[in-house]
Amino acid sequence: MSKLMLFILLTWLIGNPWIAVIILLAVLYFIDRRFIGVFPSISIPYKRYRNISKLRQQLSLSPFDVSAKRELARLLLERKKYKEALALLEEVRDYSESSAEYWDDLGRATIGLGRLDEGEAMILQAIRLNERVRYGQPYLTLALAFKEANPEKALAYVGKYGEIQSSSSEACYLLGSLYRSLGRKEEANQAFQESIAVYRSLPKFKKRHERKWAVRSYFSSLFV
């Protein structure tokens, strides 16, 4: 009701309901980014684009800069530019084979191109080099990659991630989603409830990152 009253007030003050809607959405977005954190940031894509441009320029001047190529590949992976990222990573392979982070990036790029088994082997190599690389995130990458093709394998990878990140709403949400896809409704609901419980137990500084998974888990639990 308060949002409706605010909309009516804005429309009366401005005289244009469409501008009032835009202002109201902007206010809601600001409040979310400041206090809640469910909506995605609109500044991150711009910063990523700017950093990509800088790295491209840097490589045009210094084409053998391994660090720049790996950083550019990482940013391209975030934009789902898998083919270009993979090409850059292959160029620095001889200099990076001892790096767990490198193998994880290589695997993500390969999986992004649809080569699941090959990408899985690369990410497992990253885990062999460092079992806790990127705080277990490679296990989530594998879980998401096999969510449709092999849900049972995806469940196993989520379990591995949970061993490293025992207080993750995201892991519980993914686990619930996988159980739901397998028709295991009771286990799915338990996982979604666990996601919410984990979120409530987190310290304040961690809740912002995990909040969107707790929200998704809440709504998912209503329709299991």
Task: List Cβ neighbours of 133 (8 Å cut-off, separation of 6 or more).
Answer: 100, 101, 104, 126, 127
3-state secondary structure of 97: coil
User: How many Cβ atoms are within 10 Å of 137's Cβ, its own excluded?
Assistant: 17
d(CA 177, CA 209): 19
Q: What is the value of pTM for the model shown?
A: 0.81
In tens, the pLDDT along 160-216 reads 988 888 788 988 998 899 899 888 999 999 999 999 999 999 888 788 788 889 989
- Cα 28 to Cα 13, 18, 22, 35, 131: the distances in Å are 18, 15, 10, 10, 41
In tens, the pLDDT along 9-39 reads 656 666 677 776 676 677 776 766 566 666 6
Tokens of 206: 């961690």
